[in-house]
Amino acid sequence: MPGRRKLSEENLMAIPFFKMQGLGNDYIYIVADACPATPASMIRRMSDRHFGIGSDGVVFVLPAGGKTADVRMRMFNSDGTEAEMCGNAVRCVGKLAYEQGLARVNPLRVETAAGIKVLDLRIRDGVVSGARVDMGKPELRPSRVPVALEGDAKHCIGHRLDAGNGVRVEVSAVSMGNPHAVLFVDDVGEADVHGLGTRLERHPFFPRHTNVEFAQIIDRNTVRLRVWERGAGETLACGTGACATAVACVLNGFTDRKVDVRLPGGSLYIEWDEDTGHVFMTGPAETVFTGSWPENLCQEQENK
């Protein structure tokens, strides 16, 4: 089975990887001592669904930077850009770390660019089927999401925004360590996810770009959701997006604090605890297959 190894020049010809998915949000996971210095071209080629392995991006599982976490993750979108955090990916990191003996503890603490996430792993006979993740407190302050909202507003909920092409939308901006713009629609099946998602992702109102959620309220405890992910396009599921949507639902008065979020790839159970302010996400994690990437990872970069 693939294990941790150093990504050095002498072993770039055969990099072991794990292909894993959480509700169809699939990434390539590489266990290593360090992340390559210039991984963008490698990630684009590995993520390509026609000429590569195929994925929503690549996640490096690394040694923790200190004693406060058990492992560390760095994640990159399929376009090669780095993201702070992915809720579906962090569950898969927990599964991989536990089953491969990198950190055989429970709860398990994963260091991310959006802080440390604590995972309560669902384990049976040594196999991890999923996890309940403490995703921390949502960030609502406009300057911290961030959004380009002038004044001293405490949050950006139901903000009217010109989305281009003569379309105006209401967005609720929430950060779960990465930025999200939640839109409420009558029918997610009819929503212009690709058109609006493309325009809003790089809208000037979002200085670090944004993920875009299209949410349909079913009842006080159920939401249907489609997500346009920053740097990846529409995906089958987004953990941080489901969390941000649940927060936006509560703040807009649409749902209670415990919500079943139904995405194209399956459901996530989200709880926004009133006492602690923390958001908890429960969902599955699955290994699809393992293999080795045979191409020299620096070749494309060197040929430019």
**CA 19 to CA 29: how far, in whole Å?**
6
Q: What are the extents of the domains in the chain?
A: 9-136+286-303, 156-277
**pLDDT grade for 7, boundaries at 50, 70 and 90:** low
Instruction: Judge whether 9-136+286-303 and 156-277 match in fold.
Output: yes
Question: Do the beta carbons of residue 93 and residue 71 sit within 8 Å?
Answer: yes
Question: Do the beta carbons of residue 259 and residue 297 sit within 8 Å?
Answer: no
**CA 157 to CA 233: how far, in whole Å?**
24
| Predicted confidence (pLDDT) at residue 275 exceeds the cutoff of 90 | yes
| Predicted confidence (pLDDT) at residue 20 exceeds the cutoff of 70 | yes
Question: Do the beta carbons of residue 25 and residue 237 sit within 8 Å?
Answer: yes
Name 84's Cβ contacts closer than 8 Å, sequence gap at least 6: 112, 113, 114, 177, 178
**CA 244 to CA 230: how far, in whole Å?**
14
- Percent of the chain at pLDDT > 70 equals 92
At 303 the pLDDT is: 44
State both tokens at 91: 């569950």
User: Which run of H or of E encompasses 188?
Assistant: none
Could you report the per-residue pLDDT of 229-249, keeping only the tens digit for each?
Answer: 999 999 999 999 999 999 999
DSSP per position, 13-44: T-EEEEEEEETTEEEEEEEBSS--SS-HHHHH
**CA 212 to CA 240: how far, in whole Å?**
11
DSSP per position, 209-276: --EEEEEEEEETTEEEEEEEETTTEEES--HHHHHHHHHHHHHTTSS-SEEEEEETTEEEEEEE-TTT
At 3 the pLDDT is: 57
| Mean pLDDT over the full length of the chain | 92
**More confident position, 67 or 111:** 111
**CA 217 to CA 123: how far, in whole Å?**
32
Could you report the per-residue pLDDT of 95-119, keeping only the tens digit for each?
Answer: 999 999 999 999 999 999 999 999 9
**CA 28 to CA 20: how far, in whole Å?**
7
Fold of 156-277: Diaminopimelate Epimerase; Chain A, domain 1 (3.10.310)
| Residue located via tokens 């995405």 | 263
At 298 the pLDDT is: 44
Q: Cis peptide leading into 107, omega within 30 of 0?
A: yes
**pLDDT grade for 285, boundaries at 50, 70 and 90:** very high
**CA 64 to CA 271: how far, in whole Å?**
27
Question: Do the beta carbons of residue 173 and residue 180 sit within 8 Å?
Answer: yes
Residue in 94, 114, 91, 291 with CA at minimum distance from that of residue 208? 114
pTM, 2 dp? 0.89
User: Which run of H or of E encompasses 45?
Assistant: helix 40-47
- Tell whether domain 9-136+286-303 is in CATH 3.40.50.720: no
Could you report the per-residue pLDDT of 107-157, keeping only the tens digit for each?
Answer: 999 999 999 999 999 999 999 999 999 999 999 999 999 999 987 889 999
At 65 the pLDDT is: 85
**Mean pLDDT confidence for 294-304:** 51
Residue in 26, 99, 103 with CA at minimum distance from that of residue 62? 103
| Predicted confidence (pLDDT) at residue 4 exceeds the cutoff of 70 | no
Write out the catalytic residue numbers. Answer: 86, 238
Could you report the per-residue pLDDT of 169-204, keeping only the tens digit for each?
Answer: 999 999 999 999 999 999 999 999 999 999 999 999
| Predicted confidence (pLDDT) at residue 37 exceeds the cutoff of 60 | yes
| Predicted confidence (pLDDT) at residue 297 exceeds the cutoff of 60 | no
**pLDDT grade for 63, boundaries at 50, 70 and 90:** very high
